[in-house]
Chain A
Amino acid sequence: MSESQELGAPRPPRPAPGARPPAARSTASTRPAVAAKPRPDARPLRIAYGMGAVAAASALATALVAPGSSATTAPISQVVTVATDATPLVRHVTQYVKLKPGQTAPPQAVVQQAPAPKPRVVVVTTRQSGVKP
């Protein structure tokens, strides 16, 4: 048994078969052996990373499987302030959604018909031939 084995120092790795021997280091034999410092525990950080990944996956899944709304147009809010007998003001917020052609209103939604288009001015006048319009 050699001296280094008696001190408990780790063995140097064996060279691979056919590998060239490492170059001789002049200081290797002179540096004193130092005991390895204990490494910090990685588990708390791993747990934190894991929880973050779970949260991100949850948000992604929620976005993917959320039901589509029947009207994609941005709602138009109208705030009506009503003064009541009991003084604090009550704020009623009514949201209007302008339906596009083919869209249907959600159930229980109050549907208001758009006003009929205003007639245009006279486009053309029918007349006997030869009369300037």
Chain B
Amino acid sequence: MSAVAMLFSDLVAAPADGTGRLRTVGVHLRPVDGRMDAVLRARRSAWSTFHRIEAWADRLTRFSTTSDLARLNASPAERVAVRPTLAATLDWARQAQSLSGGIVDVALLDARLAAEALGSRPDALPVDRGWSMDRGRRGSHIRRSPGLRFDLDGVAKGWLADRALARLDEFPGAVVDADGDVAIRLGHGQRWRFGVADPRSCGQDLLVLDLVGSDRAGGRRFGLATSGTSIHRWMRDGRIAHHLIDPRTGASARTDVVQATVLARTAREAEALAKTAVILGSDAALEVLDRPGVDGAILLTEAGDLLLTPGTLRWLA
């Protein structure tokens, strides 16, 4: 078995213990060469990065009462000090809100919990969802209306994937899979294939993307992320709700898009735009995705249609 194949078999899985931690994380590295010491170094880095992702995720989850995010949500104060990892993630959340035209909103935890309880209603939307962050030498502080609670969810996963990939610059090729949000760097001559899961049939791919590396310094970076309404979905008494909350209504988004996949420069951008595409629906999504920095997008509609942006065609395997 070659050294590369040995590493590819190292799909590291975190325990599915229901605590809300990232349930599946994969770190894939291509060693500098096939020598055993290079292979072992890559293996050590893969495991080290995996554990680092777990540590970050433990600070950002809302499912643990001891996480930084849980402390922020539980604080009755208007101004709350936050540690660097949470501050950096919230900083990106602010940018994602701008990137998505306000569709990505991390201050919707109560609305999401209402949707899970099938009590989706506009009054679940906090009246004042405004918040700001001061980042200074003496640390970072969040200022928001008391009681406003945050849910980082996919925003944190995309950020984690990109942050972890940045730790792996010494390797010619690296992939970090943070529960479906994937940060990719490919070097010269590298061609790796990435599947886009079909939500209608387990283990099947809708299509496969064939990504090619670059000979420029640092390789070529991609971000690949998928969002949809078919997994976190609840139904009771004929009513259906899902976890993607439309900030304009405070309820589960009414959309014809079952799943959206976006190929962009970073995993966090791809995640934000994929979520935006699902919430907006196919017509508006195709307009939003026609922008610089988006290398491709694949939308699966309720009717079973597969919509691709023109730039996607060059990546099809």
Tell me whether A and B are bound partners: yes
Known A-B contacts A119-B210, A132-B24, A133-B11; the reply to A127 vs B197 at CB < 8 A is yes
Cα–Cα distance between A127 and B196 once the two chains are bound (Å): 6
Write the chain A residue with the least CB distance to B153: A129
A-B contacts, CB under 8 A, total: 87
The answer to whether B197 and A122 have CB atoms under 8 Å apart is no
Q: Which residues of A contact B167 (CB under 8 A)?
A: none
Q: Which residues of B contact A128 (CB under 8 A)?
A: 180, 197, 199, 226-228, 230-232, 259
Q: Give chain B nearest CB distance to A12 CB in angstroms.
A: 78
Q: Which residues of B contact A122 (CB under 8 A)?
A: 193-195, 205, 208
Q: Which of A117, A119, A126, A130 contacts B195 (CB 8 A)?
A: A126
Write the chain A residue with the least CB distance to B261: A126
In this complex, how many residues of chain A approach chain B with their Cβ under 8 Å: the count is: 17
Q: Give chain B nearest CB distance to A130 CB in angstroms.
A: 5
Q: Please encode chain B, from 286 to 300, with 1 for each CB lying within 8 Å of some chain A CB and 0 for all others.
A: 000000000000000
Cα–Cα distance between A116 and B188 once the two chains are bound (Å): 12
Cα–Cα distance between A65 and B295 once the two chains are bound (Å): 55
Q: Which residues of B contact A133 (CB under 8 A)?
A: 11, 24, 26, 177
Write the chain B residue with the least CB distance to A132: B24
The answer to whether B28 and A124 have CB atoms under 8 Å apart is yes
Q: Which residues of A contact B317 (CB under 8 A)?
A: 119
Task: Indicate whether A64 reaches chain B with its CB closer than 8 angstroms.
Answer: no
Write the chain A residue with the least CB distance to B210: A119
Q: Please encode chain A, from 108 to 130, with 1 for each CB lying within 8 Å of some chain B CB and 0 for all others.
A: 00000000110111111111111
Task: Indicate whether A131 reaches chain B with its CB closer than 8 angstroms.
Answer: yes
Q: Which residues from chain B sit less than 8 Å from chain A, CB to CB?
A: 8, 11, 16, 23-24, 26, 28, 153-154, 157, 175, 177, 179-182, 189-197, 199, 205, 208, 210, 224-228, 230-232, 259, 261, 317
Please name 9 pairs of A and B residues whose Cβ atoms are closer than 8 Å in the assembled complex, sorted by A.
Answer: A116-B191, A123-B8, A123-B194, A125-B197, A126-B180, A126-B194, A126-B197, A126-B225, A127-B197
* A-B contacts besides A125-B196, A125-B197, A131-B199, 16 pairs, CB < 8 Å: A116-B191, A119-B193, A120-B8, A120-B192, A120-B193, A122-B193, A122-B208, A123-B8, A123-B175, A124-B182, A125-B180, A126-B195, A127-B180, A128-B232, A129-B154, A133-B11
